[in-house]
Amino acid sequence: MKIKEIIVVEGKSDSAKLKSLLDCDTIETGGSSLDRGCLERIQKAGQERGIIIFTDPDYPGMQIRQKVSCAVPGAKHAFVPKEVSIAHGKVGIAEAQPAAILAALENVVTFKEDSESLSWADFIALDIVGHKQKRLWIYAHFHLGYGNAKTLFKRLNMSGITREMVEEALKEAIF
């Protein structure tokens, strides 16, 4: 599988894992420090080929994703579930199962800021707040990563996902 965009990852082991599975180019952030020079390389890559942000499913990974998203609006995002990204006491892309990596890259999402496809009242009516299983299922179904209910609300809106789309998807869910 050839990836046109440049994939932004955290470290060398993430790059090695991706390159063992795909024909792709990567930029490594070197962890959460993310210096100015690296951010400029990422911005340039975003302009020239586009980028896919593919950071670890942990708090530092979320911080890096946020910084890169701010620097490159319209970047694509790939998320791998945390539960399939743990090995040898570590959490990350390098530890993720190959099938999960490929699925994440086949289901990238693009977030649009200031988009409202779902009102807070609709979100509440879906009975997601306080229902962790349902929230996690929706995150997985729409390939939106992981987070709390407020983050899910924001990501659903930024992805243009409506109440009707969530209701339709929930028909497939078993809780």
- Domains of the chain, by residue range, sit at 1-110, 112-175
Predicted confidence (pLDDT) per residue in 8-40, tens digit: 999 999 999 999 999 999 999 998 878 999 999
Average pLDDT over residues 136-148: 93
Give CA–CA dist 72/28, Å, rounded. Answer: 15
How much is the pTM? 0.89
CATH number for the domain running over 1-110:
3.40.50.140
Residue 123: pLDDT band (50, 70, 90) is very high
- pLDDT at residue 175 is higher than 90: no
Residue type at 55? T
Question: What are the Cα distances from residue 36, in Å, to 9, 30, 82, 136?
Answer: 16, 12, 28, 34
Instruction: Count the neighbouring beta carbons within 10 Å of the beta carbon of residue 23.
Output: 9
Q: What is the pLDDT of residue 22?
A: 96
Please name which of 99, 102, 100, 55 lies closest in space to residue 76, comparing C-alpha atoms.
55
User: Residue 33 has what pLDDT?
Assistant: 79
